Amino acid sequence: MMTPLNRSQRRQLEKIYSHMKSGSELCDPNCHKCCIEDVKLTYVEFAFLVDRLSEKEIENIFTKPRKLREDGNYYLCPFLNDAGKCSRYEHRPWVCRAYRKEPKLNACVQQPLREINQKAAQRILQLNNTLDIPPIFKDYTNPEMTIRDMFEVLFKKQA
């Protein structure tokens, strides 16, 4: 069962995100190679990602057939729509905002080293830990928790 965010928590997270530097303006607008389903995130970010969606809508997103990335290495994120765009772009988590193309390296990298994004990550964790949620979701005791893991833990076990 999910604990939804209240208005204050939602606003705090929006504010933190608004201060991040994504650099995604360097990306090809049709590229979504980094939209793999196992991006990692905190509980508060997952709650924001599915904010205002009904349990049925969430269930539908996660139970539709998985699509493989072109290179076959990963399944694509369930929030990537058929047009190749993020269906929850304004709600996407930290990692999706911190990832960008790095022309000098000819590669795509996260941007956690940018101080401003590091600070955002710390503030998200602080906010996350103020929520009334089980310990498994706090303090990155489970740093491998991904979008699909969150769904499995919060929704699928109830079925």
Residue ranges in contact with ligand SF4 by CB under 6 A: 24, 27-28, 31-35, 39, 77, 79-80, 86, 88, 92, 96, 99-101, 108
Q: Which is nearer to ligand SF4, 101 or 138 (CB)?
A: 101
Q: Least CB distance from residue 14 to ligand SF4, whole Å?
A: 15
User: Tokens representing 23?
Assistant: 């650099």
Query: Do 53 and 15 touch, CB atoms closer than 8 A?
Result: no
Angle, CA of 75, 65 and 82, to the nearest 5°: 75
Write down the least CB distance from residue 26 to ligand SF4, Å.
Answer: 7
Give me the least distance between CB of 110 and ligand SF4, in Å please: 9
Which of 139/152 has CB closer to ligand SF4? 152
Least Cβ distance, residue 106 to ligand SF4 (angstroms):
11
Nearer to ligand SF4, 39 or 127 (CB): 39
Cα separation, 18 vs 152, whole angstroms: 29
Instruction: Specify the pairing of strand 99-102 against strand 107-110.
Output: antiparallel
Integer CA distances (angstroms), 49 to 19, 46, 96, 141, in order: 18, 5, 11, 21
